[in-house]
Structure 1
């Protein structure tokens, strides 16, 4: 058994390495035109708009602002709180190839508040850079630390070895951006990466709460959704709305317009058991009517880490879990196929060390969530 496992791991590593090499080769034919970049007098740096590289994580093209997560038509349809949160850029990222030894970044934020009391500025308003290692795996490389509002300009990394390499840049989690640019020396190139293979192009769509949005990751790449995107080599659509993931019919209709590989519904932390009883079944029915065969994951809300001793949070979890199980049973009895159920157990561990406040995960908690969510997503996705 061990031999087969190791053999499988080598095959996966070989495939990932092939994809990364292929991306670099294809990028030679997808170079951005330096004439489209901005230059400044006396500077050897060209500033490229990341939109020319293709931004991942947006379900709709018709947005009010370039980095919104809901379409422009949603304004006035969804609640104002949901609309305002949809202007945050969580889950958006860009892949690119460059041979530059130095990568700079410049980004302009929507909101003046860079951090929260329980979440650092690097996660709320920063950028996060990953690079393909020589074995084909994504490895963290640098974080863009925001110091002021609205515009920050930083050197993300310097001293990179010669030769083209693929990179992945994540945008802020709890702030929005009006522009993001990469600074590349004039004598170097930046290019789009090769599109993913056809079988890996459909995104995984997560709809949820502040936890889905990324509270309280230390940097944008540490949310469980982003971790899973790297591990599964899939684009991710993150529709987490802090305090406002409530399974409203307006959101069901919007989500039904998209065609993901999987829907992951993780709204219970923002809902009461009564709301689960009233809203979950119609929400799923709307998705299923539009997409008869798309898998849907129903996730219990993670257990409050204080629930081992405090009655109120424990009972809140128990009521929600019971309501979700009942709704799941009703949907199965109604003939709804392709449903998958994710229990709360182990989502953030059992030692109480996975959150910043008993509810919102730390980076450790998000790593644990990625493992548990991945355990149900991998069989659904096949390989």
Structure 2
């Protein structure tokens, strides 16, 4: 790697998005106050879902110095170049690696986006570029305020190998808007202390997708969540999504009944709120869509998330322009 200069992170030229808190690694929650949050939320916040580094460079090569603190699970750091997926860097647990992403390209400016893993705890320590390569800020988003997504495994990106293909990430690229991913797998249950954290994130829109992780809770919990968010951000559009279809509903009566109960709870709780749009999850991904769109009958794959993003995109466009 002769003629390569390493740039230690954090570095303001490599803009970090997605509420990342970097100490010895990237987390989605600050250390202070973690003891007040449910253990499941703290556990999932170790994984930097939605965290991106963005920059422009004319370097013909790109290297990453990284360390992984958990298993890869076939996920890694996704590199997107000028809006096109390039490749994924898979990291081995417990080692510090210097990995080549690309080399030998013409020396012209390209916008680089590095999506950190949604299911692996890592530290991205430094970026290696050709010595004296130009580095500048990425194209700014059209709004300083991000889209804030709060929810479960569907928000975090369960079921996909590519972190850049979660539906919040896809929507962000289509709209040229920043986003924050607060998906916490089965821990997305609308607890007051978690909602307080969500409410403190300034947002251009709040997207709530708790899905089936909401469980057998009453409508009061969901109603209280909406009231908390509305009190904290009175003018911010809210999009509330009921659970998408899961093929398990066709074969497991108890699972189907619970899914229908959650949908009914969310519909009832969302009534009477101004500037709130209720979206039926089955309109985003329904029973006719499921053939070939899931690996486990519960979580979509990349194609499934792309379908969700395309359909939800129209809703968000209306919310953001109204």
TM-score by length of 2: 0.92
1:127-138 aligned at under 5 Å gives the runs 127-132=77-82, 138=83
* CA shift in 2, pair 1:64/1:94, >3 Å: closer
Partner of 1:91: 50
Are residue 278 (structure 1) and residue 239 (structure 2) matched? no
Q: Partners of 1:380 and 1:279 in 2: how far apart?
A: 24
Residue equivalent to 2:67? 108
Q: Which structure would you say has the larger Rg?
A: 1
Q: CA deviation at 1:327?
A: 1.0
* Distance in structure 1 (CA, Å) of the matches to 2:93 and 2:25: 22
Residues 356 and 285 from structure 1, CA distance in 2 versus in 1: closer, same or farther, beyond 3 angstroms?
same
Q: Which residues of 2 match residues 271-310 of structure 1 at below 5 A?
A: 271-273=214-216, 275-310=217-252
**Does the Cα contact within 8 Å between 2:243 and 2:282 map onto a contact in 1?**
no
- Report the secondary structure of 2:113's partner residue: strand
Residues 312-369 of structure 1, C-alpha deviation per residue, up to 9 Å, x if partnerless?
A: 332222111111111112xx0xxx3111111022423424222111111111111111
Quick one: structure 1 residues 148 and 250, their matched pair in 2 at CA, closer, same or farther if it must change by over 3 Å?
closer
Secondary structure of the structure 2 residue equivalent to 1:129: strand
Larger helix percent: 1
Residue 276 (structure 1) shift = 4.5
> Residue in 1 aligned with 2:191?
248
- Alignment counterpart, residue 372 of structure 1, candidates 285, 298, 311: 311
| In the alignment, structure 1 residue 78 sits paired with structure 2 residue 37 | yes
Shift in Å, 1:50: 4.3
Query: For each residue in 1:150-207, what CA deviation from the matched residue of structure 2 results, as whole angstroms up to 9, or x when unmatched?
Result: 323221112322311111110011112233422112142333225334xx22100011
CA distance in 2, matches of 1:86, 1:309: 33
The residue that corresponds to 1:163 in the other structure is 108
| 1:223 equivalenced with 2:166 (yes/no) | yes
Match of 2:274 in 1: 337
Report the Cα distance in structure 1 between the residues aligned to 2:172 and 2:313, rounded to whole angstroms.
Answer: 10
Q: Which runs of 5+ in 1 are unaligned?
A: 1-41, 116-120, 133-137
CA contact (8 A) 1:184 1:190 kept: no
Contact 1:207 1:240 in 2 (8 A): yes
Q: What is the Cα deviation at residue 272 of structure 1?
A: 2.1
What is the Cα deviation at residue 64 of structure 1? 5.8
TM-fit CA distance, 1:309: 4.3
Q: CA RMSD in A?
A: 2.0
**Paired residue for 2:134, among 165, 186, 189?**
189
Who is 1:325 aligned against? 267
* Secondary structure of 1:72 counterpart: coil
SS in 2 for 1:381: helix
Distance 1:85 1:227, change over 3 A: same
CA distance in 2, matches of 1:72, 1:88: 14
- Give the number of the structure whose residues are more often strand, by fraction: 2
Gaps of 5+ in 2: none
Q: Secondary structure, in 3 states, of the residue corresponding to 2:27?
A: coil
